[in-house]
Amino acid sequence: MSMDALFNSVKTHGPVCVGLDTQEGFLPAYLQEKDWSLGEKLFEFNRKIVDATADNAGCYKVQVACYEALGLDGMTAYAKTLQYVRSKGKLVIADIKRGDISSTAKQYARGHFTGDFEADFITVNGYMGEDAVSPYYDYLKAGKGMFLLVKTSNPSSKDFQDLPLEGGELLYQQVAKKVSQWGEAFVGESGFSNIGAVVGLTYPAEFQIIKSLMPHTFFLIPGYGAQGGTGKDIAQVFHDGICGVVNSSRGLITAHKGKTEGEDFDQCVNQAVITMKEDILQWL
């Protein structure tokens, strides 16, 4: 099952998730100057990063918003990026944060687990409840995976996620419990469910509480680097074994800035991936 595959990839290649939140300003000059559509340039940038980092990346995450921003040309680059990552035998998370119900969620499942935009995992927003999750169950049985938003890494996540419920629990804790419960039917050989969770690294104490509420859950962890999380913070989360992938986007894919504007930019990105991987693994 799919979360097993991700767990195995992380054991082999390390827990770094390379975030391809690619924007025009990130491209080295040699690419910016090409007589190509912007989408073609973004895809070439992504392709070279995937080639350079394949050995050191546990998986890739593609932020669909960066491609939707460019319309059809961007969506073509998005499709080509997903297809390229998968063609290399690597796993890819489509960071789409979709959240809709029943027949609509079925359409999203078809869109993101088959066809042009096929990914191995998607991120999902569960504010609408289990109706926004259950339409994916058939795909989970067939080996796809999803990560539900539980506690995000942004400052205003407290607006709703931290609200105290009657009885003293916070909202995100209730969300964690429900997500864990939905995931029980999809636990694989690794002990992890095909329903994972997005939990930001920026609140380490809260992460421990969430972990205890979600014993079979593999985490997609944003917040490393630019958002303040360190390898030592991750070590606390992984103290009893690796239980997630740690995403960094801008911190990795702009690593060449100020160093090179040429075709060798991908080596800077790979070096940043290695540095991040070592920053995490040194504590384990």
Output 7 or 207, the one with its CB closest to a second copy. Answer: 207
Q: Which is nearer to a second copy, 72 or 284 (CB)?
A: 72
- The residues of the shown chain that bind a second copy, judged by CB under 8 A, are 21, 23, 63, 65-66, 68-72, 74-76, 79, 97-105, 107-108, 110-112, 115-117, 125-132, 149, 152, 154-161, 163-166, 168, 171, 174-175, 178
Length of the chain: 284
Q: What is the rounded distance in angstroms from the CA atom of residue 193 to the CA atom of residue 182?
A: 9
Q: Please say which residue, 48 or 80, places its beta carbon nearer to a second copy.
A: 80
Cβ pair 6, 147 in contact under 8 A:
no
Least separation in angstroms between residue 175's CB and a second copy is: 6
User: Using an 8 Å Cβ cutoff, are 18 and 61 in contact?
Assistant: yes
Give the C-alpha separation, 164 to 248, whole Å. Answer: 30
CA 46, CA 62: separation in Å to the nearest integer?
A: 10
Which helix or strand (DSSP H or E) is residue 63 part of?
strand 59-63
Say which residues have a Cβ less than 8 Å from residue 250's Cβ, sequence separation at least 6: 19, 21, 26, 225, 226
CB of 138 vs a second copy, minimal distance in Å: 15
Q: Check the CA dihedral 274-276-281-283 and report its sign.
A: positive
Residue type at 46 in one-letter notation: N
Q: Is 34 in the active site? A: no
Distance of CA 180 to the CA centre of its chain: 18
Which C-beta is closer to a second copy: that of 116 or that of 184? 116
Selected catalytic residue, list 41, 48, 80, 97: 97
Q: How far is the CB of 198 from a second copy (least distance, A)?
A: 10
Question: Measured between alpha carbons, how far apart are the two ends of the chain, in Å?
Answer: 26
Write down the least CB distance from residue 61 to a second copy, Å. Answer: 12
List the structure tokens of 16.
């770094």
Minimum CB separation of residue 283 from a second copy in Å reads 28
| Nearest residue to 57 via CA among 97, 95, 94, 6 | 6
* 20/242 with CB nearer a second copy: 20
**Catalytic site residues?**
97
